[in-house]
Structure 1
Amino acid sequence: MQVAVASKPVTRPTVYRILFAISFVHLLNDAMQSVIPAIFPILEKSMNLSFVELGWIYFTLNMTSSVMQPVVGWYTDKRSSPYMLPLGMTLSLVGMLGLAFANNLAYVILCVVFIGLGSAAFHPEGSRVSYMAAGNRRGLAQSIYQVGGNTGQSLAPIMTALIFVPLGQFGVIWFTAVAGLAVIVLLFVSSWYSQRLVYFPRKTKNVKERKIDPARKKQVTTAIVLLVLIVFGRSWFATGISNYYQFYLIEHYGLSIEGAQYYIFAFLLAGVAGTFFGGPLADRFGRRNLILFSMLGSAPLALLLPHVDLIWVYPIFLVMGFILLSSFSVSVVYAQELMPGNIGMVSGLIVGLGFGLGAIGSVFLGKMADDLGLYFTMVFCSLLPLLGFVTLFLPSDQKLKQWQAEGQN
C-alpha cells in the first residue's frame, strides 16, 4: 500500500499550463504590491508626507503580508482551501479601488491592509500550486513561479514613470483591471487545484518522532540565526534602494521623478535575472558559496554607490542587482536543507521574514532620512552587504548532506 501511494507523485507529469498561470498571477500580484512604493513620490507631494510616513505605509503593506502568510499557510495545511486564491485577490482588488480615491494617510494605510491581506492569501497557496504542478521538476517549477513575482516587483519604477507621473494617484484605478484578470485566472487554477487534492492529502501527525541530538539542534539554531542576519542585510539594502534611492537621485543628481525611476528599474530587473540564475549557479558551485558571493560580491559596488558620478549608477546597478539577489531563492533552499522536516514552515519563515524585515527597515530608513539626510542613509545602506561575512560561519553544503544522511539512519 505504502509503495503504491509513494510512487504516484514520482510518475506525475509537470503541468506547465498551471505553472505558467500561477507564475503570471504571481507577476500581477507583486506588480500590485509594487504600486505602493511606485506612488511614493506622488503621495509625498500631494499629501505632503514625510519619509517616515512613507515608511509606515510600506511597513503596513509588508507586515500585513508577512505576518499573515504563515497563518494562512497553517490554516490551509490543515484544511484544503482551493478558492482561497481568488478570494484573496478580490481583497487586493478592493484595496486598489480604495487607493485610487484615498485622500489622507489613514485611508491609504487602510487600503494597503487589504492589498497586504490579498498578497498573504496568495503566496502560501501559490507555492502549494507550484509544488502540486511540478511533477519531478520541483526546482524548475520554483524558478518559474518565483521569476513571475520578481518581475512584478521590478515594474514599480516603470509604473511610476509611465502611469503615475502623467496620471497621478488616480492611475491606480487601472490596477483594479489587473486584479480582475488575476481573479479570472485563479478561478481556473483553483478548479484544477480542487481536482488534484486527492493526490495531495493533508498530512496527519507523524507517528515516529525522531530524537534530536541537542548539540545538532544547537548548531541548526545557530545557522538559522546567522541566515536570518543575512536576510536582514539583504532586505534592508534592497528596501533602501527600491524605496529611497529614487529620492537620492532627485536630490543629489537633480533628476526628475520620472528619470529616477529608470535607474531603480535597472537594479530590480537585474535582480530578476539574478534570482533566475541563482538556483543553477548554486547547484554548480554550492548554496553556501552562492550566498557568500551574493553578499560580499555586491559589497564593493554598494560601498561605491553613494560616491560615484551619475554615469556609473547604471552599470553598478546592473551588476550589483544581479549578484545581490542571486541568493534570494537559494537562501530558502538552504534553510529547507537545514530543517528538512519543516519545509513549509522554514520557507514561510525565510520569505515572510524577508518581507517583515524590509517593512521594519523601511520605517527605520525613512526616519534616518528625515533626521540625518538621504546621503547618510545611503552610506548606511552601503555597509549592509558586509553582513555577508557571517556566511563563513554557516555549515557547508557537504555538512548539511552529512547531517541529512545521519538523520535517515
Structure 2
Amino acid sequence: MDTAKASKPTQQLATVYGVLFAISGGHLFNDAIQAVVPAMNPIFVKTLNLSYAQIGWIAFVVNMTSSVMQPVFGYFADKKPTPFLLPLGMFMSMLGLIGFGLSPNFYVILASVFFIGIGSAVFHPEGSRVAYMAAGTRRGLAQSIYQVGGNFGQSLAPLFTAFIFVRFGQKGALGFTMVALMGIILLLFVSKWYKLQLETEIFKQSRKKNSESGSPIHPKIKAAITLLVFLVFARSWYSAGIGNFYQFYLINDYGLSIKQSQLYIFIFMIAGVLGTFFGGPLADRFGRRNIIFLSMAGAAPLTILLPYVSLFWVIPIFFLIGFIITSSFSVTVVYAQELVPKKIGMVSGLIVGLAFGMGAIGAVLFGTLADLYSIKFVMIVCSWLPVLGVFTWLLPSDERVSELNM
C-alpha cells in the first residue's frame, strides 16, 4: 500500500484496507501471544507443581492487567495519540514471553505475565483508533477486520497446548518471540501510516474542534454506555464460563478425554471468529443496535438448550452459539465509538478491555459455584446469561445516537 497516497486528506473517507489488514495481523500476533498463557497452564501444573489456585492467579494477573489498564492508556492516547506505542507494546509482550519461557517459579511467572498484560493494554486502544481512522464510511466492517485477528489469535490456545507445549514444554514459549518480532515489524509499518494521518489537515482540524468543544456528555449517552458495558459483561461472563469450564463438563458428563474436549472449545472459538467477521458488515446494513440484540437474544434459546442435549448435537449447537453470540463483538465497539466520538481510545479500551476483562471475575465466581455445587449447575447458570440481551432495546437507536452527538 502507498502510505503517502493513503494519507492525503481527499482520501480520508476511503476505507484503507491495507492498513486494516495490517492492524488485524498485529492484533492476531498480540492475542496469540496472550493465548500462550492459558495454553501453558497444564504444563505448569506438571513441571512446577502449581496449584489450581496459582493457575487462577496467573489468569487473573494477565487478564486484569491487560483489560483494566486499557481505558487508562486509551484516555491518555485520546489526549496525545502516540503511533509508536503499537510496536512498543509488542516489545513489552516479547519481554514477558522470554520471562515466561524461562520462569523457575510462580512469582517470576506472575511478573512475566504482567509484562504480557501491559503490552496488550498498550496495543488495544491505539489499534482500535487505527481501525477507526482507516475505516472510512465502513466502520462496522473495519472493526470486524480488526477484531477478527484478535479472536483468531485467542482461538489458537487449544492448538498451542496440544501441538506445541505438550511436546516442548515451558521452553516452547520462547519460540513465540519470533511471532513478537514479526508483530513489531508489522506494527512499525502501521505506525508510520498512523503518524502521517496525524499530520493531515483534516485530522488537525478534527482534534482542534474536539478540544474546543467543552460541552458535557449527554446524560442519555452516559446511560447508554453503562448499559452497553452491562451487556458486554453478560456476554463475556457466558464466554468465560464456556471457555474455562465447558471442557470439564464434557469430560465429566460425556466421558470425553482432555484432548477431545479441546476440539469442542476450538470449534466454539472458530465459530466466534466467523461471527466477528460477519457481524460488522451486517451491522453496517441492518443497524448496530439490531445486531447487538440479535447476537444475545438470538443465541439464548440455543444456550438454554445446550446443557441438556446429547453429544451428537453439541457440535452443531455449539458452533451456532459461537457464531451468533460473537457477531456483536466488533459491533459493540463501533456503537460505543459513535456514542462518544471524541474519546475513541478511552471507550474502545472500556469496551474491549475493562468490560471483557470482567470475564476473569466471572470465571472466579463460576469456579466457586462449581466447587459448591457442580459443573452442570454452572453450565445451567451460564445458559441464561444471553437472555439479558433483551435489555438492548433500552439503548438509543443508531439514528438517535447521531442526534445526541449533533
Report the TM-score when normalising by structure 1.
Answer: 0.87
- 1:207 alignment counterpart: 212
- In the TM superposition, residue 288 of structure 1 has moved relative to its aligned partner by 2.1
- In the TM superposition, residue 273 of structure 1 has moved relative to its aligned partner by 0.9
- In the TM superposition, residue 232 of structure 1 has moved relative to its aligned partner by 0.9
- In the TM superposition, residue 262 of structure 1 has moved relative to its aligned partner by 1.1
- 1:43 alignment counterpart: 44
- 1:377 alignment counterpart: 378
Q: Distance in 1 between matches of 2:376 and 2:118?
A: 34
**2:284 maps to amino acid:** D
Equivalent position SS for 1:395:
coil
Q: Residue 362 and residue 109 in structure 1: after superposition, are their counterparts in 2 closer, same or farther (change >3 A)?
A: farther
Q: Residue 79 and residue 114 in structure 1: after superposition, are their counterparts in 2 closer, same or farther (change >3 A)?
A: same
> Percent same amino acid among aligned pairs?
58
Instruction: Tell whether 2:110 aligns with 1:109.
Output: yes
- In the TM superposition, residue 149 of structure 1 has moved relative to its aligned partner by 1.1
- 2:3 alignment counterpart: none
**2:234 maps to amino acid:** G
Q: Across the two proteins, how many residue pairs are aligned to each other?
A: 395
- In the TM superposition, residue 51 of structure 1 has moved relative to its aligned partner by 4.3
**2:275 maps to amino acid:** G
- 2:246 alignment counterpart: 245
Q: Distance in 1 between matches of 2:27 and 2:271?
A: 18
- In the TM superposition, residue 92 of structure 1 has moved relative to its aligned partner by 0.8
Q: Residue 368 and residue 172 in structure 1: after superposition, are their counterparts in 2 closer, same or farther (change >3 A)?
A: farther
Instruction: Tell whether 2:338 aligns with 1:337.
Output: yes
Q: Distance in 2 between matches of 1:367 and 1:54?
A: 14
- After the TM superposition, list the runs of 4 or more consecutive aligned residues in structure 1 that deviate by more than 6 angstroms: none
1:145-224 equivalences under 5 Å are 145-199=146-200, 200-201=203-204, 203-204=207-208, 206-210=211-215, 217=219, 219-224=220-225
Equivalent position SS for 2:207:
coil
Instruction: Tell whether 2:122 aligns with 1:118.
Output: no
Q: Deviations over 1:76-124 (max 9, x none)?
A: 3333433222221111111111212324332222111111011111112
Q: Distance in 2 between matches of 1:263 and 1:284?
A: 32
1:318-357 equivalences under 5 Å are 318-357=319-358
Q: Deviations over 1:124-155 (max 9, x none)?
A: 22223333444454443322222111111111
- 1:301 alignment counterpart: 302
- In the TM superposition, residue 45 of structure 1 has moved relative to its aligned partner by 4.2
Q: Distance in 2 between matches of 1:225 and 1:255?
A: 40
Q: Distance in 2 between matches of 1:44 and 1:390?
A: 41
Q: Deviations over 1:298-333 (max 9, x none)?
A: 122222222322222211111000110111111222
Q: Residue 206 and residue 17 in structure 1: after superposition, are their counterparts in 2 closer, same or farther (change >3 A)?
A: closer
Is 2:141–2:277's contact at 8 Å kept on the other side of the alignment? no
Bigger drift between 371-380 and 197-206 goes to: 197-206
Q: Distance in 2 between matches of 1:169 and 1:373?
A: 31
Q: Distance in 2 between matches of 1:159 and 1:61?
A: 18
Instruction: Give ranges in structure 2 of 5+ residues lacking alignment.
Output: 1-6
1:45-84 equivalences under 5 Å are 45-84=46-85
Bigger drift between 28-37 and 39-48 goes to: 39-48
Q: Distance in 1 between matches of 2:371 and 2:49?
A: 13
Is 2:141–2:284's contact at 8 Å kept on the other side of the alignment? no
Q: Distance in 2 between matches of 1:110 and 1:279?
A: 36
Q: Deviations over 1:210-245 (max 9, x none)?
A: 477xxx61x333333222221111001111112222
Q: Distance in 1 between matches of 2:394 and 2:53?
A: 35
Q: Distance in 1 between matches of 2:158 and 2:251?
A: 14
CA RMSD of superposed structures (Å)? 2.5
Is 2:73–2:346's contact at 8 Å kept on the other side of the alignment? no
Q: Distance in 2 between matches of 1:25 and 1:57?
A: 24
Q: Distance in 2 between matches of 1:174 and 1:350?
A: 31
- 1:11 alignment counterpart: 11
Q: Distance in 2 between matches of 1:398 and 1:17?
A: 30
Instruction: Give ranges in structure 1 of 5+ residues lacking alignment.
Output: 1-6
Report the TM-score when normalising by structure 2.
Answer: 0.88
Q: Residue 143 and residue 168 in structure 1: after superposition, are their counterparts in 2 closer, same or farther (change >3 A)?
A: same
Q: Distance in 2 between matches of 1:315 and 1:28?
A: 29
Is 1:61–1:116's contact at 8 Å kept on the other side of the alignment? yes
- 1:4 alignment counterpart: none
Instruction: Tell whether 2:380 aligns with 1:400.
Output: no
- In the TM superposition, residue 350 of structure 1 has moved relative to its aligned partner by 1.4
Q: Distance in 2 between matches of 1:139 and 1:287?
A: 8
- 2:4 alignment counterpart: none
Bigger drift between 18-27 and 249-258 goes to: 249-258
Is 2:141–2:281's contact at 8 Å kept on the other side of the alignment? no
Q: Deviations over 1:358-407 (max 9, x none)?
A: 12222222333344332222222222112112223323334434x33xx5
Q: Distance in 2 between matches of 1:271 and 1:118?
A: 24
